[in-house]
Amino acid sequence: MMNEQEFIKEIDRYLNDEMEGPERIAFERYCEENATAAEQLATHRLFLQQLRSYADRVVFKQQLAKVGEQYHAGAHKDAGRAEPMIVTLWNKFKVNSLVAASVAILAVFSTLWLSGYYQTIQKTTSNYSALRRDMNTVQKNVNAQNAVIRNINSGKQRDDRSASNFGGTGFVISANGYVVTNYHVVRGADSVHLQSVKGDSFRANVIYIDPTHDLALLRINDSTYTPLKNVPYTFKETPSELGEDVYTIGYPRDEVVYGQGYLSSRTGYAGDTTAYQISIPVNPGNSGGPVLDSRGNVIGIISGKQTGIDGASFAIKTEALLNSIAAVPTDSLDQELVIGKKNTLGGLRRTEQVKKIQDYVYLVKVY
Amino acid sequence: MSKWSKAIALEADEAIVEGVARGDADSLERLYRDYFPVVLNMVVKNSGTEEEAKDVFQEAVIVLYDKVKQQDFELTSRLKTYIYSVCRRLWLKQLGSKGRTFHDVTAYEDTIAVEEDLALHEEKDVQLTMMEQALSELGEPCRTIIYDFYIADMSMQEICDKFGYTNANNAKTQKYKCLQRLKKLFFTTIK
């Protein structure tokens, strides 16, 4: 019986296949015969197995960790490669496309700006044009002529060119000298003169303005003025119908001008309910002229037109006019304002009507 | 899947399994490439992170390894199914311990019962942890001597030279003592 150390050594040799044939058989027989030895052999063998598998597993784990790490590091690259083409393209041209987009936006807006698009917008948002006549150009010529004449006569030089000079139309509302026109005609006026169709000129004062409705009330203040007979037309307060045959008389030039058309809409510029849209060709100077229907009722006052649109003229409704007049403080009236109630035009032909009315329509000159 | 292609697939699986037993890097890489995405998907869809998926997958491969290392190993299902089942089982267990919910995702893949393999794996884990503990308690130079002789298969003469023993007998005695101590440490921890 050998000692344990020796025996273990033998076992190691046996397990490592270092024993040759006879020795091996002898060893095996020894173990079979000796129970303690057999147990020792079994235990040792098992133990070594454990040890080996432990070592193997450690190595395997290391290997696995290494492979896993490599895979995970590579997986991201693979994921990048596997991206759809559109994503790849996007990544590639992201910066370029952003630059292109900014350039395009810049180009669009600068082109719009250069081509005056924004000015057009501004224009269309306020394409209402008030129809007062600028007579500066005419007046300048006249002034120049006058100056020449004066220079010849007196040798003195005088500069009396007025800063502004406008014209419009006004019509009698009450025979004792009250005339209605547009506020925009007399705005900023130093003095107002009315000229009748016969050529007589009267001074007038602005006694009331209503900028909201673009209305002004004038009072003739001149010793040469003889009150007229009763006003031949009446004022129609109820709304007129679409298609109503209407006409106007005004002074787009120094001579009285007749214009004819029809009522085309119940509302005025931008849906203004205090005005009508009428289809009468009107021009600067027509502002403040009366709009009459076929029976000689005043249904409105010409106030302006829409630029860029044919035949869209606007007239303030009589209703607004009368409301406005009713609001005039009685203090500012030295004579009662009598609105005509009797219509003497009803059965007359148009030419007869116009002949009668024109005496009551004045050219408003503003200095 | 036809019988023919199934056979081919099984053959490929077996090749991989053999590679795993050897600790072959290519086979392990194939395992990752072919099966990791499914596992990642399963874990991430069930309140897990990518890191957790990596851990679960790694453990599943070790389970496979333990199983393969057994003498009477036979692959009874597709490798994919096996890996997925193990991972699912492992992840369920982790979720259970953390008290998180699991939405059943069996619909995505076939699963098989893997409880037995997991039990084997755990037992192995315990034993090997004990071995590790025993080895760490053994200390140097004993550990290296044991390792060199029994695992690296170095001869006593080589060990003798490496450690500078004056003669092989001294080395043998030293090795014997170390082995006895290790055995003692190992078996006491078992008890």
The tens digit of pLDDT for each residue in A316-328 reads 999 888 888 888 8
Residues on chain B touching A67 (C-beta within 8 angstroms): 25, 28-29, 32
Average per-residue pLDDT in chain A?
81
Which of the residue ranges A8-17, A149-158, A218-227 has the most confident prediction, judged by mean pLDDT? Answer: A218-227
Q: What ipTM, to 2 d.p.?
A: 0.79
Domain of A341?
A: 130-367
B143: in domain: yes
Which residues of chain A have a CB within 8 Å of the CB of B127?
50, 54
- Is the domain of B144 the same as that of B105? no
Question: Which of the two residues, A12 and A256, has the higher pLDDT score?
Answer: A256
User: Are both B62 and B153 inside the same structural domain?
Assistant: no
Give me the sign of the Cα torsion angle A285, A286, A287, A290.
positive
pLDDT for B34 beyond 70:
yes
> Averaged over B31-45, what is the pLDDT?
83
Question: In chain A, whose CA is at the least distance from the CA of B132?
Answer: A54
Residue A105, pLDDT score:
96
Nearest-CA distance B173 → chain A (Å): 8
Out of A94-98, A148-152, B120-124, pick the least confident: A148-152
- For residue A131, with 0-12 CB atoms within 10 Å meaning exposed, 13-18 middle and 19 or more buried, which class applies? buried
What CATH number corresponds to the domain at position B63? 1.10.1740.10
- What chain A residue is nearest to B23 in terms of C-alpha separation? A60
Residue B163 domain boundaries: 139-190
Dist CA A183 CA A177 (whole Å) = 18
Per-range mean pLDDT, top range of A19-28, A197-206, B5-14: A197-206
Choosing from A46, A67, A88, the residue where a domain stops is: A67
- Both A255 and A366 in a single domain? yes
Check whether residue B39 and residue B72 sit in a common domain: yes
B-proximal residues of A, 89-128, CB under 8 Å = none
Query: What is the C-alpha separation between A174 and A338, in angstroms, rounded?
Result: 5
Whether A81 is in a domain gets the answer no
**Does the structure show a pLDDT above 60 at A159?**
no
C-alpha distance from A73 to closest chain B C-alpha (Å): 12
A83, part of any domain: no
Q: Which residue has the higher pLDDT, A43 or A356?
A: A356
The amino acid that residue A324 corresponds to is S
pLDDT at B149 over 90: no
- The last residue of a domain, from among B56, B81, B114: B114
- B121 belongs to a structural domain: no
Is residue A115 among the annotated active site residues? no
Asked if B23 lies within 8 A of A55 by C-beta distance, the reply is no
Cross-chain Cβ contact B62/A5 below 8 Å = no
Q: Which two tokens stand for residue B60?
A: 């599943």
Task: Tell whether A93 is covered by a domain.
Answer: no
Give the closest of A5, A52, A75 to B151, CB-based: A52
From the CA of B168, how many Å to the nearest CA of chain A? 13
**B159 and B101, same structural domain?**
no
Is residue A200 part of the annotated active site? The answer reads no
Q: Is B92 a member of any domain?
A: yes
Best-predicted range by mean pLDDT (A41-55, A111-125, A221-235, B65-79): A221-235
Provide the pLDDT confidence category of residue A49 given band limits of 50, 70 and 90.
confident
pLDDT in the model for residue A171: 93
Q: Does residue A163 sit within a domain?
A: yes
Number of domains in chain B: 2
**pLDDT at B151 exceeding the cut of 60:** yes
Question: CA A138 → CA A33, A355, B75, distances in Å?
Answer: 149, 28, 113
Quick one: B93 and B8 in the same domain?
yes
* Residue A227, domain CATH: 2.40.10.120
* Position A26 in a domain: yes
**What is the pLDDT at residue A13?**
75
The predicted model scores a pTM of 0.44
pLDDT digits (tens, 9 = 90+) for B159-173: 777 777 777 777 777
Q: Is B124 within a domain?
A: no
Contacts with B32 from chain A: Cβ below 8 Å? 67-68, 71
The answer to the question of residue B125 being in a domain is no
A218 within domain boundaries: yes
CB of B22 less than 8 A from some CB of A: no
* Pair (B69, B105) in one structural domain: yes
What pLDDT score was predicted for residue A158? 43
**B84: contact with A, CB 8 A cutoff:** no
Instruction: Tell me: do A60 and A202 sit in the same domain.
Output: no
B131 lies in some domain: no
pLDDT of A79 higher than 60: no
Among candidate residues A41, A67, A93, the one where a domain is terminated? A67
Three-point CA angle A111, A113, A117, nearest 5°: 100
Best mutation target among A16, A59, A71 (most B Cβ atoms within 10 Å) is A71
User: CB–CB of A68 and B176 under 8 A?
Assistant: no
- Test the B interface: residue of A67, A70, A77, A81 with most B CBs within 10 Å: A67
Is the same domain home to B143 and B184?
Answer: yes
The pLDDT of residue A12 is: 76
Q: How many helices (H) and strands (E) does chain B have?
A: 8, 0
Task: Tell me, yes or no, whether B104 and B160 share the same domain.
Answer: no
What is the number of domains present in chain A? 2
Work out the average pLDDT over B138-167: 76
- Last residue of a domain, which of A40, A67, A94? A67
Residue B113 pLDDT: 73
B63 and B150 share a domain? no
Residues B108 and B186 in one domain: no
